Copies of this chain bind each other. A is one copy, B any other.
């Protein structure tokens, strides 16, 4: 019974936290990070300013949580792909495809979450962009797989991983800017093609 109490309360609490996070996201998308004040967030949720502080210690914690939970799903999805059993080149393609379909649903938010200093500086810049770093490492690992298996040339996997990811963001950005973006597969194929071929081991010298 107590357990159930807790469970219920936790669910409810979690729901409210999410409502607040969504308000933050709406504000960021509509009016940019500068518009995210605790007052406006509360207003957007329809609660009092002080109530936000019942769920988050301070503004930074809220922003961190928003970033964390906004990126978590795609990050774990991509992780899954990268750790799968496909060939490295197929993994990269699949990875790009995952990005696009996820990003298409979230749009504007990501640039803000990933690049903007104020958000990035996660509670004192201790582990600045934890997720991002992890992502690059996993991608680099897959590229190294490809290098070892002879599919890819011998390249600096870490750097190429960064290029790959940023290229993905670049296309995301282009999609965000265009009224009618091409189907996801088209862009995923493009980025896959360029990188797979770009990394391919050249026939002869």
Q: How many copies of this chain sit in the oligomeric assembly?
A: 4
Partner of A159, one of B32, B158, B190: B190
- Chain B residue at minimal CB-CB distance from A125: B32
Q: A195-B194, A198-B197 are in contact. Are A166 and B170 (CB under 8 A)?
A: yes
Partner of A117, one of B32, B171, B193: B32
Is A75's CB within 8 Å of the partner chain B? no
Q: How many residues of A contact B (CB 8 A)?
A: 41
Q: How far is the CA of A32 from the CA of B116 in the complex (A)?
A: 10
> A161-205 toward B: CB 8 Å interface, digit per residue (1/0)?
011111101110110000000100011001101111111101000
Partner of A170, one of B121, B165, B182: B165
Is A57's CB within 8 Å of the partner chain B? no
Q: How far is the CA of A160 from the CA of B186 in the complex (A)?
A: 12
Is A115's CB within 8 Å of the partner chain B? yes
Asked whether, in the complex, the Cβ of B202 is within 8 Å of the Cβ of A197, the reply is yes
Asked whether, in the complex, the Cβ of A170 is within 8 Å of the Cβ of B162, the reply is yes
Given A164-B167, A166-B173, A196-B198, 9 additional A-B pairs, CB 8 A: A34-B117, A34-B118, A155-B193, A158-B174, A159-B190, A160-B190, A162-B170, A163-B167, A166-B166
- Nearest 9 pairs between A and B by C-beta? A198-B198, A166-B170, A194-B198, A163-B167, A162-B170, A115-B115, A166-B166, A32-B117, A197-B198
